[in-house]
Structure 1
């Protein structure tokens, strides 16, 4: 699926794919993520899968358990609320910096992503909602020149 990408891009694409699969519920809380199965599913070796699982553990999305491997974490309501409250603080700041600098190409990109989101919604493609939402927000914030804040969001 993502094996045609260079290593650095491969890890980035792979983490997005697996993160989205967890957040969409395709890999539900408590399920085991086996390195060999993930490597086969995404057409990569186990090395980038292992790197991604360690990163997802740092993000709190999985727990690495001895003798069991990676287990999808159950996010508490408090953790979910914490993330949304943090985003509510940071995203307006990003948008205020970016909005005056957006140009015609930026607005065309926003419209294109919005149209893809509407199509996905109409088709009930739940797995794509999170990725499209992230693309839309990143398109709106791209001119902010605040890389640390964007990374946190």
Structure 2
């Protein structure tokens, strides 16, 4: 709870957003069966002044970031690992356009506070698929590189 002097118009705005989200005339009309959903909604609610009532347009996706790869491999690194890292590097260089297509068609768009719990779960699942599609080769590259660094401590390259 905020002190009265800091509240300003936050409480009316909060309850207005709450009522709109649950499509109620007054918050006391919320059915008891949706109480846990309401608590989850209120805990995620942004309680800062200046928040616009309507969401702004979703910004266009920025180009996919380029990955930083090794240009020099340590002499003690196993040649098979070096070859695998080089192959992944060449694959990543060739799939830049494919990554942009994945970003364009797999990104679920903007997330809204007006989404129902089911819509939020669907959004989160789509976003996780998007991240997995975007990061899978990078994860393989980083796993090989980390495996080398960890294995090096035990005399394996």
For normalisation by structure 1, the TM-score amounts to: 0.21
Question: Higher strand proportion, which one?
Answer: 1
Q: For the pair shown, which has the larger CA radius of gyration, 1 or 2?
A: 2
For normalisation by structure 2, the TM-score amounts to: 0.21
Question: Higher helix proportion, which one?
Answer: 1
